[in-house]
Amino acid sequence: MSTTATPKGGARQRGSSVSKAISEVNTYTDGASVLPSQDGNENPAAEMKATLAGEKSNVASSSSSSTRGDKGKQAVAKKSSAPKADEHVSRSQGLLKDIITFRWMTEPASSAKLAGIIIVLWLNWRLLTPHVANPFEPFLFLSHRIPVATVLLEEPSVALRGDTVRYQKGYKDLLFILFYIIVFSCIRQTTTLYMFKPFAAWWGIKNERKRERFTEQGYAFLYWGTAGLLGLYVMSFQESWWFQLEHLWLKYPHWQMRPELKTYYLLQLSYWLQQALVMLLRLEAPRKDYYELIAHHLVTLWLIGWSYLINLTMIGTTVFVCMDIPDTWLAAAKGLNYLGLDLAATIIFGIFMFIWTYFRIYLSAVTLWSVWYQFDLIPAYTKYFLPSKGVWLTWWMKYQVFAPLFLLLLLNIFWYVLMWRVMIRSIQGISGDVREEGEYDDDEEEEKKKE
């Protein structure tokens, strides 16, 4: 599958009329949706199909041309009804119905309204009853702050730095997670519909599936780039900085969390829950490795939730860093590929392969080795299963920690093999993602025939 840039799909088309491009973008975003199973007929595509069908109906009379004429009439009928279909798919059906049908996850106006309602309720309570505990505070901000005296008892050295703000986990964290699932849905759809899709149209990407994939990678690059930098920042405060993995165990349990760490952890959990819902509800076109991706998401949620519950947030941070930094480069390489910038995509992909090998294979394997061989470094008084005391790591918990990390490494190796296949094909002059192989080849052939 070759995606080499051509004059009409790349830079030359960028030099065409800007006003026309802006007009097409506005038409597109008015009825845009990331539901590929429902939003298959945006207005420009419907018009093209109707025009072509109309041309076919004017062919000289014959049995075959008559058949095409009938199809042309059907296409014209579809053209007249296409805007209504788009309106039904992409526009809010009312906030209550959007909530019931989960449409709020694909309609930024509805997710923004949901988030806005919570913010207004919080602000209203804060202004009118400032001396009463605000029940909406846990939705927006961290909960379960640890008293300073307890922090100093556990870590006396923090008094010298004045760094005494610490949090622990609690049930109110679920409210925080719920709110930021809504926030991520809004951010996802807003950036998809009003940033990346318009850019793809302006660039000249005609194939609908390619545009969908480009917008997905744009959002992925935005999130993983931010998460990767934040993960490095959070990790820099930990004794396990840059994978000094014995510290994952020496001071267990890690129940006192800096605000940056707790925010980072809960935002990651919110993001992956939102992504899992997107996949399970089929809000993105499924790839060939759809079930592997589902497995990856479930294993990731298992790791995040389990490590947070049993006070192993330090190892969770190292795993996040191993995952997010390579994903940033992958999203960049694929985005450039969809833009038809094959040389740049190949260079970035080569860098990505090195980064993936180091983080997702080598460092993930080293972390797994630490779980197996350094687990017994935990203090003797914590080698019990006493959740009420904040300690969980009895002997059999070693296998509970090892299992999801091992499954994640297997998935990484599975994709690693596919990546090498892509790398070899890129060197041979064929750039693309084998996971999406064949997903838009047929569309490209159809477009060529139409032209």
The DSSP letter of residue 312 is -
Please check the confidence at residue 78 and state whether its pLDDT lies above 60. no
Please check the confidence at residue 97 and state whether its pLDDT lies above 80. yes
DSSP 401-449: HHHHHHHHHHHHHHHHHHHHHHHHHHHTT--S-GGGTTSSHHHHHHHHH
pLDDT tens, position by position, 144-184:
999 998 888 888 888 778 788 999 999 999 999 999 999 99
State mean pLDDT over 58-72.
Answer: 44
Rounded to 10 deg, the angle between the 290-309 and 313-338 helix axes is 150
pLDDT tens, position by position, 355-399:
999 999 999 999 999 999 999 999 988 888 888 888 888 889 899
Please check the confidence at residue 14 and state whether its pLDDT lies above 90. no
Please check the confidence at residue 445 and state whether its pLDDT lies above 80. no
Q: What is the pLDDT of residue 446?
A: 53
State mean pLDDT over 215-222.
Answer: 92
State mean pLDDT over 65-90.
Answer: 43
325 Cβ contact list (under 8 Å, min separation 6):
224, 228, 231, 232, 355, 359
Please tell me the distance from the alpha carbon of residue 29 to that of residue 23, in angstroms, as a whole number: 10
Please tell me the distance from the alpha carbon of residue 41 to that of residue 47, in angstroms, as a whole number: 9
Q: Looking up tokens 């299963």, which residue turns up?
A: 385
| The two three-digit tokens of residue 261, written as one number | 């760490």
State mean pLDDT over 73-85.
Answer: 42
pLDDT tens, position by position, 294-353:
887 888 888 899 899 999 999 999 999 999 999 999 999 999 989 988 889 888 988 999
Nearest Cα to 349, choosing from 319, 326, 325? Answer: 326
| The two three-digit tokens of residue 418, written as one number | 């596919």
220 Cβ contact list (under 8 Å, min separation 6):
327, 330, 331
State mean pLDDT over 273-293.
Answer: 76
Share of the chain above pLDDT 90, in %: 39
The single-letter code of the amino acid at 130 is P
pLDDT tens, position by position, 101-148:
888 888 888 999 999 999 999 999 999 998 999 999 999 999 999 999
244 Cβ contact list (under 8 Å, min separation 6):
none
Q: Looking up tokens 């080569």, which residue turns up?
A: 350
Q: Could you give the dihedral angle defined by the CA atoms of residues 320, 323, 326 and 329, in that order, rounded to the nearest 10 degrees? A: -80
34 Cβ contact list (under 8 Å, min separation 6):
106, 189, 192, 193, 212, 215, 283, 284
**pTM, rounded to two decimals:** 0.74
Query: Which residue did the predictor score with more confidence, 430 or 188?
Result: 188
Q: What is the pLDDT of residue 303?
A: 87
Q: Is 60 left (phi over 0), alpha (psi -120 to 50) or beta?
A: beta
400 Cβ contact list (under 8 Å, min separation 6):
306
306 Cβ contact list (under 8 Å, min separation 6):
312, 400, 401, 404
70 Cβ contact list (under 8 Å, min separation 6):
none
State mean pLDDT over 214-235.
Answer: 93
Please tell me the distance from the alpha carbon of residue 320 to that of residue 322, in angstroms, as a whole number: 5
The DSSP letter of residue 167 is B
Q: Which of 63-67, 238-242, 252-256, 346-350 has the lowest mean pLDDT?
A: 63-67
Q: What is the pLDDT of residue 101?
A: 80
Helices (H), 141-286: 148-154, 158-161, 173-191, 197-203, 208-235, 247-250, 259-280
Where residue 54 falls among pLDDT bands split at 50, 70, 90? very low
Please check the confidence at residue 354 and state whether its pLDDT lies above 90. yes
The continuous run of DSSP H or E covering 290 comes out as helix 290-309
Please tell me the distance from the alpha carbon of residue 309 to that of residue 255, in angstroms, as a whole number: 9
Nearest Cα to 442, choosing from 211, 210, 214? Answer: 210
Q: What is the pLDDT of residue 394?
A: 86
Mean residue pLDDT of the chain comes to: 77
Please check the confidence at residue 61 and state whether its pLDDT lies above 70. no
Please tell me the distance from the alpha carbon of residue 239 to that of residue 246, in angstroms, as a whole number: 9
Query: Which residue did the predictor score with more confidence, 257 or 289?
Result: 257
**How far lies 367's CA from each of 139, 316, 319, 352, in Å?**
33, 10, 8, 21
